[in-house]
Chain A
């Protein structure tokens, strides 16, 4: 029987944030938690992933000893939360389902915003801590590295991370299709409002050069400008800025458009036609539709952006299907590797491998020595057999012993590598060589 990989955890879909908070692990708590987990009966390896959206314990149990209840008990004891309080929110996976889950998490398919890139970093950190405290062993090491390469495959072979699914993010993506490098762009924020501020934050995160804020109430402009590290401009003066700002975010409560095509056309002349991008989040709208008809000027209102988001969502769902297919492939590979870690098939393969070599070499020699009698031939054949048997005796005994001690995997892995039973350099898992 092979060892068992298990996942016990909860995420944003199964548990409310209050609960996730209680069960989350601080970095400083990790050494102690690995010690506690080690005390669980039958456990060989473990790792903990704790982010704001999920708490998961990955572990490897010795064959036929697995008891995921013990992991739940550990969580309950460690955090002082009664088991009943969180048991309904817990999911438990084992074997190939556990591997699949781990691959999906690393590839950001299980994230709240599918395709968001942070999770892979957190996932790598989780592995780093576990490895540092020697909590992981041969199986989890392999599993984590495989998960990194699966995540990389998903990222490069599908466009799952490429499409914006929130309005403000869509606006940033559009700006990048107009200006390329946002680090040279200046942004003007007209008015205030939750959505507008969110969009402004996204632009700041994207690394814009400078932000100006204007508001009918100047004091409000000053507070916002402080928040964003920008500059406040009196409302009467913002028109002058059109000459130098490239992106304008607008959401005022004005009943009529406040930016007319005339103003923009004049500004464009002074700008020598350098492009401008207007994002109108206000309803009723702040910017005259005709602005969009000017050349090198682009105006997107809230409905336009919503449409972009919808089309991106459809695209993303298509890409997610491709990603799931990649993951299925990789899960199958990994399970096969696990199977191969077993002692008995390894011994058998080892003998087949040796016998294959013996026969080939024997054949070569015998065809050259044509004047041997049948008796001589048989003697040579027996000689080769006994050399092979004597040579393989040591490794076979070692493998059988380690199986009894329950430390089979490292020895099996070593023997397989030494004799190249998975082909030269373990060709079958070439993707995890990095």
Chain B
């Protein structure tokens, strides 16, 4: 049952992505409408799948790499749907849906066996910590997409090359504002994620902060985004510079999320590739 739901979800996401690519070659609102429906349907199937997992295991399904990746894909899909509803930028689908597909695909490559919950993860703080941190990270994923879109559009205008993509992409000012608005929601979420994590660490390990690699790298990520926000407000880091920093920031998010588990060992090492 669980397996079928994963495949159904994946197929729906994948279909949405294909439609979003098709939109690039032959723009028409109908393609994006259907891409939205497919992504929405995939999101529903995904929600059912997470619920089923919760029911089967008796705890929030974010305790190994398979579950984390899958939950992260769910968060990104959610944010895409919300941002699309709010801003209605069709071409965004072509940039953002591949991320959802990618994370769910990665999740499929890792073991999905239900393991007994390590005693240390039994806490209410765990789901709160992870949901906050993941929602923040998913918003940064969208900030990343918006930044890529900004850089492409900026290049079009600087190089004075008009093209199909230029027509589809929104204005620089809208993309730049979106970058800022997403950041100003993602950043508090990341901050809260770190704070709740540290409270949980106090319960679980007896110390708020123990410089474990995951903690260190999330602090670095936090500092980069904090610097971006600060500089934007004071000296006007915007446009290209802001886009590049947001891209680097998302790279750090990914490294904190996956790279640390893969390369460095520490207290957070439940989510190893297996």
Contacts and interface: CB of A to CB of B under 8 A. Distances in A.
Interface of A: 156-157, 159, 162-163, 174, 176-181, 271-275, 292, 295-296, 298, 300, 304, 307-308, 311-312
Given A176-B171, A180-B174, A295-B241, A307 B236 contact: no
B158 A298 contact: yes
Interface of B: 27-29, 153, 157-158, 160, 162, 166-167, 169-174, 235-241
Contact of B237 (A273, A298, A308, A311): A273
A304 B160 contact: yes
Contact of A180 (B29, B170, B239, B241): B170
A283 B215 CA distance: 60
Nearest to B234: A272
B166 A177 contact: yes
Given A178-B172, A178-B173, A275 B158 contact: no
Nearest to B240: A295
13 contacts: A156-B29, A162-B167, A163-B167, A176-B171, A177-B171, A178-B157, A178-B171, A179-B173, A180-B170, A273-B239, A274-B238, A275-B239, A296-B239
A157 B28 CA distance: 7
**Secondary structure at chain B's binding surface: helix, strand, loop or mixed?**
helix
A168 to B, nearest CB: 16
B151 to A, nearest CB: 12
Contact of A273 (B153, B158, B238): B238
A297 to B, nearest CB: 10
Contacts of B29: 156
Contacts of A271: 236
Contacts of A272: 235-236, 238
A327 B237 CA distance: 50
A178 to B, nearest CB: 5
Nearest to B156: A177
Most B CB contacts (10 A, CB to CB) among A174, A272, A273, A292 go to A273
A179 B28 CA distance: 24
A328 to B, nearest CB: 19
A295 B169 CA distance: 20
A179 B27 CA distance: 23
B171 A179 contact: yes
Contacts of A159: 27, 167
Nearest to A273: B236
A273 B174 CA distance: 15
Contacts of A304: 160
B6 to A, nearest CB: 37
A159 B241 CA distance: 33
Contacts of B27: 159
A271 B236 CA distance: 8
Contacts of B241: 295
Nearest to B174: A180
Considering the complex of A and B, which 9 residue pairs feature the smallest CB-CB distances, nearest first? Answer: A272-B236, A180-B171, A273-B236, A180-B173, A180-B174, A296-B239, A311-B162, A179-B173, A177-B171
A295 B173 CA distance: 14
Contact of B160 (A157, A180, A274, A300): A300
A115 to B, nearest CB: 14
Given A177-B171, A296-B238, A311-B162, 8 more contacts: A163-B167, A177-B172, A178-B173, A180-B173, A272-B238, A273-B237, A275-B173, A295-B240
Nearest to A162: B167
A274 B236 contact: yes
Given A178-B173, A179-B171, A275-B172, A296 B158 contact: no
Contacts of B173: 178-181, 275
Contacts of A178: 157, 171-173
Contacts of B174: 180
Contacts of B169: 177
Residue among B173, B238, B239 facing the most chain A CB atoms (10 A cut-off): B173
